[in-house]
Structure 1
């Protein structure tokens, strides 16, 4: 519903309605974020990994990472930084999602022109990990093996391969690609749920970028609050309309180190040895 229509319903000016919406969004985020999207800890990451292993058969996974382009109206003097590869203006919602479609952490406001990998490396989440504010648990053994592997986020090819960030091979090994795809469905489904439930994300938002960021954060925290209250159906299936807008752009300067390649090889070997019925369960 537009501000104009709300103003007509409540006999207020559109600017007054806008101020109320903005203030309410800020209060909801301030009060609900500590309850429904707290800063993750080593203990909470281990619990998330247990859920991924139980629900999606992917051990040592502490979240699925992806970005979604949120449409905005063309901004004056914005240049081309908000104009994305899909040929519309947008800001990027970067989200780390758990096995139950909850948002572990978000970063809103990345330039639409940036790749997902570039947005991640400019995000507060990335800086918090590097700065030690968010601490990833120490490596642990993979199920029914004596192989020690690190805890990892799952991402697609648009992201750089890092010690804590796992992505499929560019081509070739199907076992790892299949498991990454299955487990990464959580973030794609989370974006699908957001778009289908909150109409503000289904059309260009007519506000400056600061207000867009605040409203998207509000929608995200309400998403978590609803899941925490009502639970979530793990059989949710995304549709073509609500799939995430993951960028295929890639900065080829981010070459993986030997250590990160070894991490990917460890998981590849693990999934290659799993029985077919285990991998499909």
Structure 2
């Protein structure tokens, strides 16, 4: 017979269970998982550092940019992403942080997958991506997506005239849905007409596929027109505070015409925003030519989105990130896109990159005062003036005019 009472046996059982649980927890308690300890020997970054950092071709395939451009970006954000070593652990280097972030953007791999390949904790991977994106925005946005001033608009207008046969055009505008994993308790806010959850990247693009203005984070359920109506761009257009140059004659004419953005049918017709003539009714030859010219020039914004998606495969998957951090991620990729475009367009032949001029608020011209041209009626008149000009000897392009006839 037992020498212990039932109560005493229960107490002993509880004590033994607590002791076993404590021992089990102690066995789990470690500073770094043994897999992560092998980072310098087996981690992806340290492998590529040994094999491809000095191979320009392999480097480009891996990072979608050459080593010079990588180092150029590093030089701007290195201080912001550098941490000190401690006696307990060695800090992750800035170059490794950029490598992790670029591979996340380029491959679209999850933080969990990158955790295994880079031998870093999953939460560490997420923290690195957010840290690097914030540094890119803080240090590089003012340089590569600066608020345009009058001279910048004039340069863009000249580019649209020379490359796309649409004079007085200062940018093409469109929206792009970026698919995300449905945020918790968001209902149908992010659910779009394509049956996906998304946030919207609305952008104005110049004649060389670079982002001029970006508006990020609108709910996927909203239309492009609705997003535009509530955007800062629309408000600044209405108040004439975008520093758009004064009206100027189209080439070969003497009638002053406003500088305009161009968009598709989702956008409103405004003094400084042209959209196609409605296709639901029969169009005249002049209207058809106008629509063709506008469509050809507006294609630059669709192509810019295409380049962005090709460079960064994160866009080809449902991004599993809090919407606040999604906005940061998208903006960082837009800045990187512009950096790459600037290098490819302006500096590739010279084999060097000079820092672009950073214009701040003190360098802006005074806003143009509102005038009588802002009414809807005048917007229709402006479109008709473009339409007539495109049929005139001064404004027509032979290849399109012959095809229409």
What range is the shorter-chain TM-score in? 0.7 to 0.9
* Paired residue secondary structure (1:120): helix
2:398 corresponding residue in structure 1 = 277
TM, length-normalised to structure 1: 0.88
Greater helix content: 2
1:38 corresponding residue in structure 2 = 146
Inter-partner Cα distance in structure 1 for 2:141 and 2:181: 27
Contact 2:389 2:396 in 1 (8 A): no
- Given candidates 312, 315, 320, the residue that maps to 1:198 is 312
Equivalences for 1:1-281 in 2 at 5 Å?
A: 1-131=109-239, 133-171=241-279, 172=283, 173-231=287-345, 257-273=376-392, 274-277=395-398, 279=400
Inter-partner Cα distance in structure 2 for 1:198 and 1:74: 21
Inter-partner Cα distance in structure 2 for 1:8 and 1:57: 51
TM, length-normalised to structure 2: 0.61
1:250 corresponding residue in structure 2 = none
2:363 corresponding residue in structure 1 = none
Q: CA deviation at 1:13?
A: 1.6
Inter-partner Cα distance in structure 2 for 1:225 and 1:121: 29
* Paired residue secondary structure (2:217): strand
Q: CA deviation at 1:27?
A: 0.5
Q: CA deviation at 1:6?
A: 1.7
Change (3 A) 1:23 1:133: farther
Inter-partner Cα distance in structure 1 for 2:252 and 2:400: 14
Contact 2:237 2:272 in 1 (8 A): no
* Paired residue secondary structure (1:159): coil
Inter-partner Cα distance in structure 1 for 2:230 and 2:309: 25
Q: CA deviation at 1:131?
A: 4.8
Q: CA deviation at 1:115?
A: 0.9
Q: CA deviation at 1:120?
A: 1.2
Contact 1:129 1:135 in 2 (8 A): no
Q: CA deviation at 1:132?
A: 5.2
Inter-partner Cα distance in structure 2 for 1:212 and 1:133: 29
Give deviations 1:178-220, integer Å, cap 9, x for gaps: 0010000100000010111100111110011101100000110
Contact 1:57 1:279 in 2 (8 A): no
Greater strand content: 1
Q: Greater relative contact order: 1 or 2 (C-alpha under 8 angstroms, separation 6 or more)?
A: 1
Change (3 A) 1:63 1:119: same
Over the aligned positions, Cα root-mean-square deviation in angstroms equals 1.7
